[in-house]
């Protein structure tokens, strides 16, 4: 693998560029396709890409690995337009936060002469754009791969090794359904909670005077890309709504205990959450040091 092409230099694509430069400088030829000329110019100034194009002219035809960081519907259009431009035998991957509907959506448009690997970096920022890309975001982060029967095992292994080389700690293989179920809970539900908490405030109050770390931590991701997250929520609505139901039941459980002064029940609820959090921390600490 000599040439890596990045399609989309937003916060994820830009972070890939910066992580490659930080961990494996001068190892690959790195190029990019992005509709924003200023973004391409900035990436070249930063030294994280050698060449950029607003629309593909020569990049896809030569790239051994193509990492596409586009909105799901934009990705479909990109594949339709450039299906015959990819280098035969190239590894092509995407980074979207949904998988089963994504697979169903774009499978008919995947060129037969490339190995298309569905992937999802479990790292990012609440802000968007290349200016917020940071190589450190990938350090020790999780990465999910959803293989299909069409993937070449050697390419999966090569891509996994590449991910670990640029900072990712744990790379796991999961089915598309399991991916969407878990992401509905761990990512989409948490964003929904942050949005609801932020929007439930009475704006006539000077809330900022009363805020501590807990409020800041819980609402950080409420600064949200409305276009991307609307698409993600709707494309994974079944799994997300199931997570809503489970969460609402737990909120009702706690609310009832408070209403009825059920002290022992509240103790049990808080002990349960503490035990689960400690177990989570223990498991999460096993990521690559």
Residue 199 in domain: yes
Same domain, 16 and 91: yes
Residue 206 in domain: yes
| Residue 74, number of CB atoms within 10 A of its CB | 14
Residue range of the domain that includes 236: 179-284
Same domain, 16 and 80: yes
Torsion 96-48-170-282 (CA) sign: negative
Tens of pLDDT, residues 6-17? 999 999 999 999
Which CATH number covers residue 196?
1.10.3660.10
pTM of the model: 0.86
Which distant-in-sequence residues (6+ apart) come within 8 Å of 110 by Cβ? 79, 83, 92, 116
CA dihedral 92, 95, 101, 104 (to 10 degrees): 0
Residue 222 in domain: yes
Structure tokens at 161: 């090794």
Residue with tokens 């694509």: 13
Same domain, 147 and 186: no
Per-residue model confidence (pLDDT) at position 109: 84
CB 117 within 8 A of CB 151: yes
Structure tokens at 281: 């921390």
Tens of pLDDT, residues 160-183? 999 999 999 999 999 999 999 999
Structure tokens at 157: 């292994």
Per-residue model confidence (pLDDT) at position 102: 85
Residue 289 in domain: no
Domain end residue (candidates: 174, 203, 226): 174
Same domain, 213 and 169: no
pLDDT > 90 fraction of the chain, expressed in percent and rounded: 85
Q: Which of these, 44, 56, 35, lies nearest to 17 by C-alpha position?
A: 44
Task: Count the domains in the chain.
Answer: 2
Tell me the β-bridge partners of 53: 33
Report, as an integer, the average pLDDT of 137-160. 96
Domain end residue (candidates: 174, 205, 224): 174
Same domain, 151 and 215: no
Residue with tokens 């089915």: 175
Reply yes or no on whether the pLDDT at 108 is more than 90.
Answer: no
Same domain, 193 and 159: no
Same domain, 186 and 267: yes
Same domain, 111 and 214: no
Reply yes or no on whether the pLDDT at 70 is more than 50.
Answer: yes
Residue with tokens 């934009």: 74
Structure tokens at 68: 């596409």
Same domain, 134 and 170: yes
Which CATH number covers residue 31?
3.40.50.720
Domain end residue (candidates: 174, 200, 233): 174
Same domain, 163 and 242: no
Residue 156 in domain: yes
Same domain, 167 and 225: no
Per-residue model confidence (pLDDT) at position 286: 61
Residue 81 in domain: yes
Same domain, 220 and 274: yes
Residue 67 in domain: yes
């Amino acid at each position: 693998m000599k040439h890596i092409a990045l399609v989309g230099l937003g916060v994820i694509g830009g972070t890939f560029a910066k992580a490659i430069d930080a961990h494996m400088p001068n190892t690959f030829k790195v190029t990019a396709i992005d509709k924003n000329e200023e973004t391409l110019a900035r990436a070249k100034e930063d030294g994280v890409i050698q060449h950029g194009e607003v629309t593909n002219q020569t990049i896809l035809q030569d790239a051994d690995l193509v990492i596409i960081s586009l909105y799901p519907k934009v990705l479909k259009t990109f594949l339709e337009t450039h299906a015959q431009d990819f280098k035969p035998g190239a590894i092509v991957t995407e980074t979207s936060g949904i998988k089963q509907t994504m697979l169903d959506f774009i499978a008919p448009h995947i060129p037969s002469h490339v190995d298309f690997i569905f992937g999802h970096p479990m790292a990012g920022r609440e802000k968007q754009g290349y200016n917020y890309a940071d190589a450190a975001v990938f350090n020790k982060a999780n990465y999910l791969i959803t293989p299909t029967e069409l993937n070449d095992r050697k390419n999966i292994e090569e891509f996994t090794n590449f991910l670990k080389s640029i900072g990712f700690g744990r790379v796991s293989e999961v089915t598309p359904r399991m991916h969407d179920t878990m992401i509905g809970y761990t990512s989409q539900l948490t964003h929904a909670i942050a949005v609801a908490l932020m929007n439930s405030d009475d704006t006539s109050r000077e809330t900022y005077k009363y805020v501590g770390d807990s409020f800041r931590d819980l609402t950080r991701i409420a600064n949200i890309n409305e276009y991307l997250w609307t698409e993600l929520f709707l494309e994974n609505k079944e799994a997300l709504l199931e997570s809503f139901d489970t969460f609402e039941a737990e909120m009702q459980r706690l609310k009832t205990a408070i209403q009825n002064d059920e002290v022992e029940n509240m103790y049990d609820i808080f002990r349960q959450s503490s035990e689960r959090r400690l177990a989570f921390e223990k498991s999460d600490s096993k990521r690559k040091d």
